[in-house]
């Protein structure tokens, strides 16, 4: 057992590009779910349109990367409007149903053979982010201390990713601590009360859905850029549930909650992954109990267990306001 390697891996996982990408998408989800109370179960759909916006624009049409990101964001706005306009007038549950359905519909739509000339169908698209990596200011090599080190490529994605997360958090903080944010929170508490005070609740919900969706699309675009490929089946509903996990783990309706949640989530996942791998290969855990091939699945079972414990002992999340949660919500 090489504990140092396990710890090194875990720290890499919690700072790496994936954590930044998930944090960004979770910040978007927090605007919708944490502050506005919108049950968007299709955040992955927003990531998907963001990712394919970049991929299709660059790989299929040969446009620039910037145009691709812009188109991805535009697609997210359109998606938010399509989803929101019919459902946001209804009770909260309907948005949940519509969004979870929409995420799946989008995935099947993008992988259909009908769209294959554009999206590459089930195989997806590849090698469309060369422009992004050509702009990498870091010279090739490894950066970091000891086992915690990244190559120049990852470091560049991380710089952009965490930069976007910081920017998104700043934006959310400014918005939430403004009268606009006050209306958003009042919509979460009681829509009818907000309407009785002359607030156009519907308009605010749309704005919230669009803002969260755009952040999701940016995360999706970065996810596609990071691995230089898009594949429809990596955008399945599970991603949305990870994002909910992250938001609740960190503390919903806290500006930095999703960031802390993402970091913790990825630390846990990579820790369990490397620990279980080492433990099974070194024979600490007999292969009759867990085989090396099962590790991928088992680690998420443990993450699930950790979450259950968290919900029991710290239901407001890591930095959530426990006082808020204890309130008698009548």
Partner 1 sequence: MSADDTAAPGTDTATASTASGPAGLEGCVPEPGCAKPDPIFTADSVVRSFGGLRAVDVAHLEVQRGTITSLIGPNGAGKSTFFNLVTGFDKPDSGQWTFQGEELTGQSAYRIARRGMVRTFQLTKALTRLTARENLMLGATGQLGERFVPAFLRFPWRAQEHEIGARADDLLERFNLAHMRDEYAGTMSGGQRKLLEMARALMVKPSMIMLDEPMAGVNPALTQSLLEHIRELRDEGMTIVLVEHDMDVVMGISDWVCVFAQGELIAEGAPDDIRRNEQVIEAYLGAHRSLPAAEDTAETDEEKHDEQS
CA–CA separation, 107 vs 91, rounded Å? Answer: 26
192 binds partner 1 (CB under 8 A): yes
Residue pair 270/9 in contact (Cβ under 8 Å)? The answer is yes
Residue pair 68/55 in contact (Cβ under 8 Å)? The answer is yes
91 binds partner 1 (CB under 8 A): no
- Among 165, 166, 210, smallest CA distance to 184 is for 210
Using the rule CB under 8 A, which residue among 117, 140, 179, 293 binds partner 1?
A: 179
Count of residues in the chain? 330
Using the rule CB under 8 A, which residue among 108, 114, 142, 182 binds partner 1?
A: 182
Q: Is the CB of 197 or the CB of 301 nearer to partner 1?
A: 197
CA–CA separation, 191 vs 198, rounded Å? Answer: 11
Contacts of partner 1 in 203-242 (CB under 8 A) = 207
127 binds partner 1 (CB under 8 A): no
174 binds partner 1 (CB under 8 A): yes
Give me the least distance between CB of 85 and partner 1, in Å please.
15
90 binds partner 1 (CB under 8 A): no
Q: Is the CB of 113 or the CB of 196 nearer to partner 1?
A: 196
Using the rule CB under 8 A, which residue among 145, 297, 312, 327 binds partner 1?
A: 327
Contacts of partner 1 in 19-38 (CB under 8 A) = none
198 binds partner 1 (CB under 8 A): yes
328 binds partner 1 (CB under 8 A): yes
181 binds partner 1 (CB under 8 A): yes
171 binds partner 1 (CB under 8 A): yes
**Count of residues near partner 1 by CB under 8 A:** 31
- Among 225, 188, 192, smallest CA distance to 205 is for 188
Give me the least distance between CB of 190 and partner 1, in Å please.
5
Give me the least distance between CB of 81 and partner 1, in Å please.
15
199 binds partner 1 (CB under 8 A): yes
178 binds partner 1 (CB under 8 A): yes
Using the rule CB under 8 A, which residue among 2, 93, 116, 324 binds partner 1?
A: 324
- The label of the residue with tokens 């949940």 reads 96
Binding residues (CB under 8 A) for partner 1: these are 171, 174-175, 178-183, 185-186, 188-190, 192-201, 207, 323-324, 327-330
């Amino acid at each position: 057992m090489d504990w140092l390697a396990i710890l090194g891996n875990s720290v890499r996982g919690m700072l790496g590009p994936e954590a930044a990408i998930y944090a960004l998408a979770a910040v978007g989800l927090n605007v919708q779910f944490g502050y506005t109370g919108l049950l968007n179960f299709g955040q992955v759909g927003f990531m998907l349109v963001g990712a394919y916006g970049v991929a299709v624009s660059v790989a299929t049409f040969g446009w620039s990367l910037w145009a691709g990101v812009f188109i991805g964001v535009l697609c997210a706005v359109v998606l938010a409007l399509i989803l929101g306009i019919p459902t946001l007038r209804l009770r909260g549950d309907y948005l949940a149903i519509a969004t979870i359905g929409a995420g799946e519909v989008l995935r099947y739509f993008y992988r259909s053979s009908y769209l294959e000339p554009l999206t590459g169908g089930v195989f997806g698209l590849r090698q469309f982010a060369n422009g992004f990596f050509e702009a990498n200011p870091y010279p090739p090599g490894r950066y970091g201390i000891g086992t915690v080190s990244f190559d120049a490529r990852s470091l560049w994605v991380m710089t952009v990713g965490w930069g976007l997360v910081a920017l998104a958090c700043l934006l959310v903080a400014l918005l939430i601590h403004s009268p606009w944010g006050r209306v958003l929170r009042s919509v979460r508490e009681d829509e009818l009360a907000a309407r009785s005070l002359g607030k156009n609740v519907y308009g605010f919900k749309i704005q919230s859905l669009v803002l969260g969706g755009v952040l999701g699309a940016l995360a999706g675009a970065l996810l596609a850029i990071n691995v230089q490929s898009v594949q429809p089946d990596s955008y399945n509903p599970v991603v949305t549930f990870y994002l909910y996990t992250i938001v609740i783990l960190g503390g919903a309706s806290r500006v930095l909650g999703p960031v802390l949640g993402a970091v913790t989530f990825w630390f846990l996942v990579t820790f369990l992954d490397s620990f279980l791998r080492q433990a099974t290969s070194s024979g600490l855990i007999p292969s009759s109990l867990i085989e090396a091939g099962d590790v991928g699945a088992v680690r998420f079972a443990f993450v699930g267990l950790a979450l259950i414990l968290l919900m029991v002992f710290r239901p407001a999340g890591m930095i959530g306001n426990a006082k808020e949660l204890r309130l008698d919500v009548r």
